[in-house]
Structure 1
Amino acid sequence: MEQNKLREETLVAPTPTDDLKRVFQDRKRTNILNAAEQKTISFLVQRVPDFITSNMLTFTGTLGSVLVLAGFILATYLSRNYLLLGVAGLAINWLGDSLDGRVAYYRNIPRKWYGFSLDIIMDWVSTVLIGLGYLVYARSAYELIAFIFVVLYGWAMIISQLRYKITDVYSIDSGLVGPTEIRIIIALMLIVETIFGHLFEYFASGICITLFIINIIDTRKLLKLGDIRDDMERKAKNNAA
């Protein structure tokens, strides 16, 4: 509830400094690159032209995922060098995904639930597109890894939504690792794959194993939070009776 109060208090602010504070008040971040990422977003959000809307940035982020898909397909049938398109695509995906809601808050025109819903849907679409691209590129023995990655990332997204429902605080990170770190790891994997070839499946397997472990830990934490919330509501109900 305190987080919701912070959101309301930061909707109106008279100074540029407060405008930038408002940009980051709608969610809690714990990822290792949080400080550098927020500085970058603060720099960029003030320089987005007025004609570029939040919806346009969301669409741009999704186009980045399409570029990753295209890179995998072209690498499969033409040249492995096309995997570098995926690096550019991940950068574009980060740009659109990171700035869409931030721009709305900075301009003091947020549509909280509309933006939240659209962001989640397009994040899922992006995940599926990237997984599909790897499915096309992977050698037959490793195609299952693409499916597992999509399932595990979807699991992580579900955990974040349920945690929001239980705690009223929205967080997209699992400890020190968030979507930005995942993008950087995948980009590095693409570069290594371009140079050496047929190493991506081993890295992808490692990511899947790591995501599985993180999801198990986060699920246990989520259930404990749910138990605490149930206990609080039960006590409140008994006190009201």
Structure 2
Amino acid sequence: MTISSVTPDTQKEFQPAARQQTSLLSSLEKRALIHFAQHLPRSVNSDHLTALGFLAMVAAGACYYWAASNPAAGLAAVTLCLALNWFGDSLDGTLARVRNQQRPRYGFYLDHILDSAGSIFLFGGLAISGYMSPGIAAALLVAYLLLSIEVFLATYTVGKFQISFGAFSPTELRLLLVIGNAALLWKPVVTLFGHQFLLFDVGGACGIGGMLVIVVHSIAKHTAQLYREETTW
């Protein structure tokens, strides 16, 4: 009687999807991550880094809420949390590869389910901070999750894990958010076409538009590719 459909032979046959990373800072980031991985204490493992990345994202959302009453301290804390999120979220896989302790299915699943959950806390914090309208924050979250779903489905069906799109990856997006945090202290409201808008509403609207364009383009490309590959009549 078969207890599990996942046997040792099945595990050996599993092939991770090819990683597609062509962002602006990808080369520099890769060298930095390998350096960190080579010098981390042996007592620190990939699970610790994954947990750090998730908890830092939760804390970033909480700090956006704090920034509503204490802008300078709250936004500085958000920036620190984003740095910790980058460190944990980006380094966990590199550490596993450097130490030859890879668990590709476990790592991929855990890392990205926590990323998705963490984004809810981040955008939720923005929604109640007063720096971004709740509607824009909700739409931004939906666009982000929709893009994530497309990436995950393409990873399974096409065999390519698209980490970056053009010059942007999660690392560059974190940097844009850090720059935006600094700008909030100077000018949280901007004037466009004779009307005033929250700075982060403008940035959020641009982010929504950009992600939706990427999603539509990716869906069309991958649908056509899979149709060509699997249509035999």
TM-score, length-scaled by structure 2: 0.83
Alpha carbons 2:140, 2:208 under 8 Å: kept? yes
Deviation, structure 1 residue 175: 2.7
Partner of 2:161: 170
Partner of 1:46: 38
Partner of 1:225: 225
Q: Which moved more, 1:52-61 or 1:175-184?
A: 175-184
Alpha carbons 2:158, 2:222 under 8 Å: kept? no
Q: Which moved more, 1:164-173 or 1:98-107?
A: 164-173
Deviations 1:148-171 (A, max 9, x none): 111111111111112112222222
Pairing 1:89–2:71 present: no
CA-based RMSD of the aligned residues comes to 2.2
| 1:221 aligned partner, one-letter code | K
Q: Report the secondary structure of 2:39's partner residue.
A: coil
Partner of 1:147: 138
TM-score, length-scaled by structure 1: 0.81
Give the total of aligned pairs.
Answer: 210
Alpha carbons 2:46, 2:93 under 8 Å: kept? yes
Q: Which runs of 5+ in 1 are unaligned?
A: 1-7, 9-24, 236-241
Deviation, structure 1 residue 206: 1.6
Deviations 1:199-239 (A, max 9, x none): 222222221222122222222222122223323xx37xxxx
Cα pair distance change 1:102/1:139, threshold 3 Å:
closer
| 2:78 aligned partner, one-letter code | G
| 1:190 aligned partner, one-letter code | N
Equivalent in 22, 35, 39 of residue 27 of structure 2: 35
From the two aligned structures, give the one with the greater helix fraction.
Answer: 1
Alpha carbons 1:84, 1:194 under 8 Å: kept? no
**Runs ≥4 residues deviating over 4 A:** none
Deviation, structure 1 residue 146: 0.7
